[in-house]
Amino acid sequence: MKPATHRTALRVQSLLGPRFEVLEFEESTRSAAEAAAAIGCTVGQIAKSLVFRSAISERPVIVITSGTNRVHESTIATQLGETIERANADFVRSSTGFAIGGVPPIGHTGSVVIIIDEDLRRYDEIWAAAGTPNSVFRLTFDELVQLTGGTVTRVAGGH
Protein backbone atom coordinates (compact mmCIF):
# COMPACT_ATOMS: atom_id res chain seq x y z
CA MET A 1 0.00 0.00 0.00
CA LYS A 2 1.39 3.39 -1.04
CA PRO A 3 0.07 6.89 -1.81
CA ALA A 4 -1.54 7.19 -5.24
CA THR A 5 0.59 7.91 -8.30
CA HIS A 6 -1.70 6.91 -11.20
CA ARG A 7 -3.18 9.99 -12.90
CA THR A 8 -6.78 8.79 -12.52
CA ALA A 9 -6.31 8.04 -8.82
CA LEU A 10 -4.64 11.44 -8.40
CA ARG A 11 -7.67 13.08 -10.04
CA VAL A 12 -9.90 11.38 -7.46
CA GLN A 13 -7.50 12.46 -4.70
CA SER A 14 -7.78 16.05 -5.94
CA LEU A 15 -11.57 15.88 -5.83
CA LEU A 16 -11.56 14.38 -2.34
CA GLY A 17 -9.13 16.91 -0.90
CA PRO A 18 -6.62 16.53 1.93
CA ARG A 19 -9.13 14.98 4.36
CA PHE A 20 -8.79 11.66 2.51
CA GLU A 21 -5.85 9.64 1.23
CA VAL A 22 -6.05 7.61 -1.96
CA LEU A 23 -3.87 4.51 -1.68
CA GLU A 24 -2.62 2.19 -4.39
CA PHE A 25 -1.82 -1.50 -4.16
CA GLU A 26 0.43 -3.68 -6.26
CA GLU A 27 -2.34 -6.26 -6.40
CA SER A 28 -5.82 -5.72 -7.83
CA THR A 29 -8.60 -4.38 -5.64
CA ARG A 30 -11.13 -4.76 -8.47
CA SER A 31 -13.44 -7.15 -6.59
CA ALA A 32 -14.68 -6.71 -3.03
CA ALA A 33 -12.84 -9.85 -1.92
CA GLU A 34 -9.57 -8.71 -3.52
CA ALA A 35 -9.91 -5.25 -1.97
CA ALA A 36 -10.65 -6.62 1.50
CA ALA A 37 -7.65 -8.99 1.32
CA ALA A 38 -5.30 -6.20 0.20
CA ILE A 39 -6.58 -3.72 2.81
CA GLY A 40 -6.96 -6.17 5.68
CA CYS A 41 -10.62 -5.43 6.37
CA THR A 42 -13.83 -7.42 6.04
CA VAL A 43 -15.57 -7.78 2.68
CA GLY A 44 -18.57 -5.99 4.18
CA GLN A 45 -16.48 -2.83 4.65
CA ILE A 46 -15.90 -2.53 0.92
CA ALA A 47 -18.25 0.05 -0.61
CA LYS A 48 -18.54 -1.33 -4.12
CA SER A 49 -19.96 0.94 -6.81
CA LEU A 50 -22.18 -1.00 -9.21
CA VAL A 51 -23.34 0.83 -12.31
CA PHE A 52 -26.79 0.18 -13.75
CA ARG A 53 -28.71 1.73 -16.61
CA SER A 54 -32.34 2.70 -16.18
CA ALA A 55 -34.47 1.11 -18.88
CA ILE A 56 -36.66 4.06 -19.91
CA SER A 57 -34.60 7.20 -19.29
CA GLU A 58 -31.26 5.39 -19.80
CA ARG A 59 -29.83 7.27 -16.79
CA PRO A 60 -26.74 5.88 -15.09
CA VAL A 61 -27.60 4.62 -11.62
CA ILE A 62 -24.74 3.88 -9.24
CA VAL A 63 -25.59 1.66 -6.31
CA ILE A 64 -22.89 1.82 -3.62
CA THR A 65 -23.34 -1.33 -1.63
CA SER A 66 -21.55 -3.37 1.00
CA GLY A 67 -19.19 -5.93 -0.49
CA THR A 68 -21.23 -8.73 1.08
CA ASN A 69 -24.52 -7.67 -0.47
CA ARG A 70 -26.13 -8.42 -3.77
CA VAL A 71 -28.30 -5.64 -5.18
CA HIS A 72 -31.96 -6.52 -5.67
CA GLU A 73 -32.69 -4.72 -8.90
CA SER A 74 -36.45 -4.83 -8.30
CA THR A 75 -36.02 -2.83 -5.07
CA ILE A 76 -34.07 -0.13 -6.90
CA ALA A 77 -36.55 -0.16 -9.79
CA THR A 78 -39.42 0.47 -7.38
CA GLN A 79 -37.63 3.50 -5.96
CA LEU A 80 -36.76 4.91 -9.38
CA GLY A 81 -40.09 4.15 -11.01
CA GLU A 82 -38.41 2.23 -13.85
CA THR A 83 -36.49 -0.99 -14.23
CA ILE A 84 -32.70 -1.11 -14.27
CA GLU A 85 -30.18 -3.42 -15.84
CA ARG A 86 -26.46 -3.95 -15.28
CA ALA A 87 -24.50 -1.56 -17.47
CA ASN A 88 -21.93 -2.80 -19.98
CA ALA A 89 -18.32 -1.63 -19.89
CA ASP A 90 -18.82 1.03 -22.58
CA PHE A 91 -21.80 2.57 -20.76
CA VAL A 92 -19.91 2.54 -17.45
CA ARG A 93 -16.91 4.33 -18.97
CA SER A 94 -18.98 6.87 -20.94
CA SER A 95 -21.32 7.75 -18.06
CA THR A 96 -18.80 7.79 -15.21
CA GLY A 97 -15.41 8.34 -16.82
CA PHE A 98 -14.07 5.23 -15.10
CA ALA A 99 -13.69 1.54 -15.94
CA ILE A 100 -15.54 -1.27 -14.19
CA GLY A 101 -13.64 -2.29 -11.05
CA GLY A 102 -12.43 1.23 -10.28
CA VAL A 103 -15.57 3.40 -10.25
CA PRO A 104 -15.35 5.75 -7.27
CA PRO A 105 -18.38 7.25 -5.53
CA ILE A 106 -17.49 10.75 -6.83
CA GLY A 107 -16.00 12.51 -9.85
CA HIS A 108 -18.23 11.12 -12.58
CA THR A 109 -18.16 12.77 -15.99
CA GLY A 110 -21.94 12.94 -16.25
CA SER A 111 -24.96 13.26 -14.02
CA VAL A 112 -25.67 10.02 -12.18
CA VAL A 113 -28.25 8.81 -9.68
CA ILE A 114 -26.53 7.52 -6.53
CA ILE A 115 -28.13 5.05 -4.15
CA ILE A 116 -26.27 4.04 -0.97
CA ASP A 117 -26.76 0.75 0.83
CA GLU A 118 -27.92 1.39 4.39
CA ASP A 119 -25.96 -1.70 5.51
CA LEU A 120 -22.71 0.29 5.14
CA ARG A 121 -23.83 2.36 8.15
CA ARG A 122 -22.87 -0.42 10.56
CA TYR A 123 -19.12 -0.08 9.88
CA ASP A 124 -16.90 2.50 11.60
CA GLU A 125 -14.86 2.77 8.40
CA ILE A 126 -15.47 1.71 4.83
CA TRP A 127 -13.29 1.60 1.73
CA ALA A 128 -14.24 2.73 -1.77
CA ALA A 129 -12.60 2.51 -5.18
CA ALA A 130 -10.60 5.56 -6.23
CA GLY A 131 -10.63 5.46 -10.01
CA THR A 132 -8.44 2.47 -10.86
CA PRO A 133 -8.65 -1.29 -10.24
CA ASN A 134 -5.96 -1.03 -7.55
CA SER A 135 -6.71 2.26 -5.76
CA VAL A 136 -8.96 2.85 -2.76
CA PHE A 137 -9.66 5.37 -0.01
CA ARG A 138 -11.03 5.07 3.51
CA LEU A 139 -14.07 6.99 4.71
CA THR A 140 -17.08 6.75 7.01
CA PHE A 141 -20.67 6.13 6.05
CA ASP A 142 -21.59 9.74 6.88
CA GLU A 143 -18.73 11.02 4.72
CA LEU A 144 -19.95 8.82 1.84
CA VAL A 145 -23.43 10.31 2.08
CA GLN A 146 -22.02 13.84 2.33
CA LEU A 147 -19.62 13.41 -0.61
CA THR A 148 -22.18 11.87 -2.96
CA GLY A 149 -25.52 13.35 -1.92
CA GLY A 150 -26.84 9.84 -2.51
CA THR A 151 -30.10 8.39 -1.30
CA VAL A 152 -29.70 5.88 1.55
CA THR A 153 -31.89 2.82 1.32
CA ARG A 154 -31.98 -0.95 1.63
CA VAL A 155 -30.62 -2.50 -1.56
CA ALA A 156 -30.25 -6.17 -0.63
CA GLY A 157 -32.67 -8.81 0.53
CA GLY A 158 -30.44 -10.66 2.96
CA HIS A 159 -26.87 -11.45 3.92
If pLDDT is split at 50, 70 and 90, which confidence band does 45 have? very high
What average pLDDT does the chain have? 94
Give the domain ranges of the chain.
2-153
| pLDDT tens readout for residues 124-144 | 999 999 999 999 999 999 999
Average pLDDT over residues 56-81: 94
CATH of domain 2-153: 3.90.960.10
Q: What is the pLDDT of residue 159?
A: 41
pLDDT given for residue 157 in this prediction: 62
For residues 153 and 84, what is the distance between their CA atoms, to the nearest angstrom?
Answer: 16
- Average pLDDT in the 24-36 region? 88
Q: By C-alpha distance, which of 17, 65, 23 is closest to 43?
A: 65
Residue count of the chain, please give it.
Answer: 159
**What is the pTM (predicted TM-score) of this model?**
0.94
Mean pLDDT of all residues in 24-33: 87
Measured CA to CA in angstroms, residue 68 lies from 47, 49, 50, 109 at distances of 9, 13, 13, 28
